[in-house]
A and B are shown apart, each in its own frame.
Chain A
């Protein structure tokens, strides 16, 4: 069953590895989502509502540093924050910022380039990535939420606390816990469904593309970043380890490697499916276009300096 360019066993090995890598982080995100639902004080949310557009985006950006989680885990938390009434620009900024800005991604970038001026790589990744995140957040903040979001799963209706005879059926705490468990489970399984599709597509491309084919284009000043962004988005590698991969492909010049490092965490094939748990497909395609165009523009500009 193996074509000369494709191996089913290799595909299943990569597919299973991507799933096992993603599921624990998705679960952490679901647990974070439950914690938000059960413990996040309403007063904090009211403060977020009062921050305005700029303040809200800044809050979402800072949360990316303070609550580290990779791209798979961020979505359940964002879905929960939106249901709790957090404005979309704040939640979306966190969604985009968390994979790129989290301390694990920063540390892995430093380690991967530790023999090649690592702080420069870290600073450039953070700076260029932050510009891209800011542009996405400003764009989202100007959009009508109803146009770009899929309908979020409805909260369960309130179950009766008292039976017909008047006796207490369940305590408010148990009722709240039941609602949270149901909602978080549904979020987890919904995002996992998209993770499975994304991991399958990424595993297919991961095992069928010969990386030697890209060598000639990789070194080109104009096409190098295009190839690097394409590679980042097809391989769908976790943002906490992608730096090791691009560091092992020295045919890419620095501008192209930076394009790989800022575009991949914000959008890849896996995220194309995962984002559809939250955004409409048209919006997801728009995010892809903006991430790709923005990363290329920034890195082409950098290469001119």
Chain B
């Protein structure tokens, strides 16, 4: 019986893997797991695995594969079942973004993190209806790297989104994760926010999504090192964006 069952289990495992890969593409979940450069490979892999499942099932002899002991075939059936279950299960329960623990664990020098993107061609910044520059956390940190851009942006009103990390004494952070290849290597990029005592901050979950509007400055809190700090004028919760990462 296991001899006849094995080709069917192999085909089912391949089909499950293919369907899982395609599901991440169709649902958009792949954007939370992989860099856009790699996403077509997942789509192609999903199609290839589904085709392989069909080919495998159609080529299998009705008597099953021969040439291996029943014990070994039993092990392979269990292995294929576990592999398909692990991949489908991991994808099913994976959240869209990291917790604050990942932010604490992945400490890195922001200026070094940004070396990867500093020469990339960025489109010119747009302004919203209130005249605030629409930016990303990365734009603010990159601006802090050069005296010219500091001069251009210092004192400007900016508006950006990110994950909300409350702090003490009127300081909080807005965080985005910068993905190089996959979520496992994503690095946090955070901007400090000062909140005046008069500002009413609505209830936002820790690491929930928020939009901040305010004025950016680049104080030299550490000698020779400037970092952006935004004095908030408005903070509001927003729904999770479709692009949770910066690539």
Contact = CB atoms under 8 A, between A and B. Distances in A.
A229 interface: no
B42 interface: yes
A212 B107 contact: yes
The main secondary structure of chain A at its interface with chain B is helix
A248 B109 contact: yes
B152 to A, nearest CB: 21
Nearest to B111: A250
A24 B95 contact: no
Interface stretch (B84-92, B132-140, B162-170, B194-202): B84-92
Contact of A208 (B49, B55, B87, B105): B105
Interface stretch (A84-92, A185-193, A296-304): A185-193
B65 A182 contact: yes
A210 B80 contact: no
A12 B182 contact: no
B146 interface: no
Given A10-B101, A20-B30, A211-B108, A248 B59 contact: no
A112 B184 contact: no
Nearest to A153: B68
Interface in A12-39: 12-21, 23-25, 27, 31
Contacts of B13: 189
A193 B99 contact: no
A190 B94 CA distance: 24
What is the size category of the interface that chain B forms with chain A? Answer: 35 or more
Given A12-B90, A156-B66, A241-B181, A185 B56 contact: yes
A12 B93 contact: yes
B17 interface: yes
Contacts of B107: 210-212
Contacts of A210: 104-105, 107
A65 interface: no
A244 B181 contact: yes
A20 B113 contact: no
A173 to B, nearest CB: 12
Given A10-B101, A16-B33, A181 B59 contact: yes
Nearest to B95: A9
Nearest to B11: A185
A20 B230 CA distance: 37
A111 B35 CA distance: 16
Interface string A173-213: 01001100110011001101100100010110011111110
Nearest to B48: A27
Given A14-B184, A177-B59, A154 B34 contact: no
A187 B204 CA distance: 49
Contacts of B3: none
Given A12-B93, A20-B182, A189-B13, 9 more contacts: A2-B101, A21-B184, A24-B21, A24-B42, A157-B66, A174-B59, A185-B14, A186-B76, A244-B185
10 contacts: A12-B95, A21-B38, A24-B44, A27-B45, A159-B61, A178-B59, A181-B56, A193-B82, A237-B181, A238-B181
